[in-house]
Structures are given as C-alpha cells and as structure tokens.
Amino acid sequence: MSGILVVQEARGDGNARAFQETLAAGRLLAGLTGQAMEAAGIGDQNKDLFLHVTGTPPARAHAIRHPLLEKYTSDGYVLAFEQLIKKLAPDYVLFPHSYQVRDYVPRLATRFGKVMISDVTAIEAGPGFVRQLFQGKLSATYRPAGSGPCFVSIQSGAFRADAGGGGAMDIEEFAPEIDAAQIRTKPGEPFRGAAQTVDLGSAQRIVSVGRGIKEAENLPLVQALAEALGAELAASRPICDNGWLPMERQVGSSGHTVAPKLYLAVGISGAIQHLVGMKGSQCIVAINKDPDAPIFEVADYGIVGDLFEVVPALTEAVKAAK
Ligand SMILES: Cc1cc2nc3c(=O)[nH]c(=O)nc-3n(C[C@H](O)[C@H](O)[C@H](O)COP(=O)(O)OP(=O)(O)OC[C@H]3O[C@@H](n4cnc5c(N)ncnc54)[C@H](O)[C@@H]3O)c2cc1C
C-alpha cells in the first residue's frame, strides 16, 4: 500500500480551484512522505481538468465512468471510490472540502474502518494533518495510526494552487461495478451556498466591510475604494444579516472562504468566524480604530484610524496613483 490519490470535486465545473489547491496539498504530502501522487475524478465533464493543471501534474489520472454516476448520489460515489481505492491501495486520499465531500466521504472512510480528517488547513512532517477546533480557538494535529488509506479533506483557501508549469496527465478509464438496486437515493438539485452572481472565491482583490461602517448609507464610501482598486466588495456577517449587502458577499465560516492576492478589511474586528474565511489571503490590510482588534494579528499591514477619514484618503491616493 502506498501513494497519494487526489480526488476532484464532481460537479459541472469540476471546482477547478479547489482541485488545484488539493493537488498543491498532495504535492506537499508527496514531498514529506516520498510517495507518488495520482488523481481521480468521476465522469467526462471534468476530464478537462486533468489536462490543465498548474504545477507538476500527477503521473496518472483515473477517470471513473459509469452511467449510474452521471448524477451525484452518495451510494454511487461510495461504491465507485471504494472499488478504485481497493484497486490502487493508496496510503492517503485527499479531497477538496466541499458539501459533496462532506456528504459521501465519511461513509466511504467507514468502509475501510477509517474516519475522515476534515477541513485540514496545513500538513506537517510526520505526516500530521492540522485542523481547527472550537471555531478556530484550538488547533489540533492528527497523525494517522496504522496503515492507510487515510482520508483527508482540504479546507478551501488553505493551500495555494501552484503557479506555472503544468501539463497533461495520462488518463486511465476505470469502470466500477454498480447495480441500480444499490442506489437508494434520488438526486435532487445540487445545493448552492449562495447565488452565483459574484465569484468571491476567484477574486484577486477584495475590499471587505464590517460593522465599523455603522449604517448602510455609508457603504458607498467603501464601494468607491473597491472600484478604485478594481476589487470585489465583500462583508462580515452582520452587514449581510442586516441586508445591507447580499449574503453571497459574506466572508467567513458561514459564508465564503476566499484567498485573494489582496484582502482589505475595513471596520472588521476579526472574529474567528471571519478569520477562517480570509486568513489564506496573500496580503491582508486592516483599517480599524481599535489597535487591539484581533484582525491586526493576521494583517500584513495595519492602519489604526477612523475609517471615515482613512478610506476616502486611500481612494483618492489610489486614483492619483493610476
Ligand atoms: C456560528 C457563527 C457563524 C458565524 N459566521 C460568520 C461569518 O461567516 N462571517 C463573519 O464575518 N462573522 C460570522 N459570525 C459572526 C462573528 O462572530 C462576528 O460577530 C462578526 O464577524 C463581527 O463582525 P464585524 O467585525 O463586522 O463587527 P464587530 O465585531 O462589531 O467589529 C466592528 C469593528 O469596527 C471597528 N470600528 C468601529 N468604528 C470604526 C471606525 N469609525 N473606523 C475604524 N474602525 C471602526 C471596531 O473597532 C470593531 O473592531 C458568526 C458567528 C457565529 C456564532
């Protein structure tokens, strides 16, 4: 038994970014363990992703094909991956942490007498899989005991997809044996966390506003900064709960996880539920009048000041610099 298998999200767009991030986690694990990495995915629709990876591609990809897998069911997916994993016998199986994965992978893991180590944010030598507990107040490292397979899901935004390089993998077809009687569920419409008019997940720059803005009438101030920077506008939860901005713009544990190049937090305290959604950003800038606000603990640059003075000045400076 050896090797690392990285599994794609099976949905229309293959959740390309999550797959690339999971591959980056897989490469790190491969470096730590000296094991080879392969990839797997269901159906034809995501086959393109096997051809367009960034970073060193896995040597081989397994395209799982069966008419009963055209629509997602946990029964079908468990059966298919159980057979593939038994055939390949990998030590580690890595998944992007998605609604779908949360649904079927714990059951898949129990078929092997294992559990899923979920929401992993870092991988240490050993290997140890790091995940947060109690809304991020504690961080725990899990070191799997015994032999594989070890099932791990990777938190979105925790690993950066490798840039450049890339290439195609050799694709092998895998046809599992599945009987219609084994599928006990009828697939409904796939769940979407938020309407997809804005894709915060792939935004390069985000200006995010919190309760420090005080009233909805003041939002244009921050909107102007976002526009000047060519950034998407996002928010902490109270702003969306108040209906000042739509829920699809909420960042955090019950909103989106983002990892832009620039995350500018305006009047946001930095509660842990917010931090888990944005701390993977490459450069974090925080504007807050409280020098002890927890947001400054994760910020690369901090401006202690009144946002009603700082934000207009910053907007003017950005416009002038263009
Ligand atoms: C189960 C659960 C899930 C949650 N999910 C999320 C989530 O997904 N996303 C999320 O964001 N929160 C979430 N929360 C809420 C979270 O706990 C915080 O309440 C929330 O993030 C606080 O938002 P805030 O920082 O905008 O407001 P506050 O905590 O009120 O902070 C406002 C900040 O603005 C600063 N400020 C005030 N006036 C000015 C000024 N004039 N100039 C500059 N700074 C100023 C203050 O110093 C303060 O730091 C969740 C909570 C729970 C229990």
pLDDT digit string (tens) for the chain, length 322 residues: 689 999 987 665 556 778 888 999 999 999 999 999 999 998 765 666 666 677 778 888 899 999 999 888 999 999 999 999 999 999 999 999 888 899 999 999 999 999 999 989 899 999 999 987 765 567 899 999 888 899 999 987 778 777 766 777 788 999 999 999 999 988 887 665 554 567 788 789 999 999 999 999 999 999 999 999 999 999 999 999 999 999 889 998 778 888 899 999 999 999 877 988 898 899 999 999 999 999 999 999 999 999 999 999 999 999 999 8
* C-alpha 129 to ligand 1 mean position (Å): 29
Nearest-CA residue for atom 31 of ligand 1? 269
Q: State the pTM of this model.
A: 0.67
* C-alpha 252 to ligand 1 mean position (Å): 10
Structure confidence at residue 196 (pLDDT): 54
**322 three-class SS:** coil
Q: Please name the amino acid found at residue 188.
A: G
267 lines ligand 1 (CB under 6 A): yes
Contact, 132 vs 139, CB < 8 A? yes
Q: Which among 10, 24, 9 has a CA at the least distance from the CA of 259?
A: 24
What are 235's strand-pairing partners?
209, 250
* C-alpha 214 to ligand 1 mean position (Å): 11
Structure confidence at residue 289 (pLDDT): 97
Residues 268, 265: Cα–Cα separation, whole Å: 6
236 lines ligand 1 (CB under 6 A): yes
* C-alpha 240 to ligand 1 mean position (Å): 11
Mutating to test ligand 1, I would choose from 240, 269, 276, 308 the residue with most ligand atoms within 8 A of its C-beta, which is 269
What are 138's strand-pairing partners?
133
254 lines ligand 1 (CB under 6 A): yes
For the CA of 210, the nearest atom of ligand 1: 26
* C-alpha 137 to ligand 1 mean position (Å): 16
* C-alpha 275 to ligand 1 mean position (Å): 10
Nearest-CA residue for atom 41 of ligand 1? 306
Nearest-CA residue for atom 19 of ligand 1? 271
228 lines ligand 1 (CB under 6 A): no
Residues 159, 50: Cα–Cα separation, whole Å: 19
Residue-level length of the chain = 322
What are 53's strand-pairing partners?
167
* C-alpha 202 to ligand 1 mean position (Å): 23
* C-alpha 94 to ligand 1 mean position (Å): 33
Q: Calculate the alpha carbon distances from 200 to 17, 197, 307 in Å.
A: 12, 10, 23
307 lines ligand 1 (CB under 6 A): yes
210 lines ligand 1 (CB under 6 A): yes
Residues 274, 296: Cα–Cα separation, whole Å: 13
242 lines ligand 1 (CB under 6 A): no
306 lines ligand 1 (CB under 6 A): yes
Find tokens 């094909």 and name the residue. 65
Structure confidence at residue 201 (pLDDT): 80
176 lines ligand 1 (CB under 6 A): no
Q: Which among 146, 119, 116, 144 has a CA at the least distance from the CA of 130?
A: 119
* C-alpha 264 to ligand 1 mean position (Å): 14
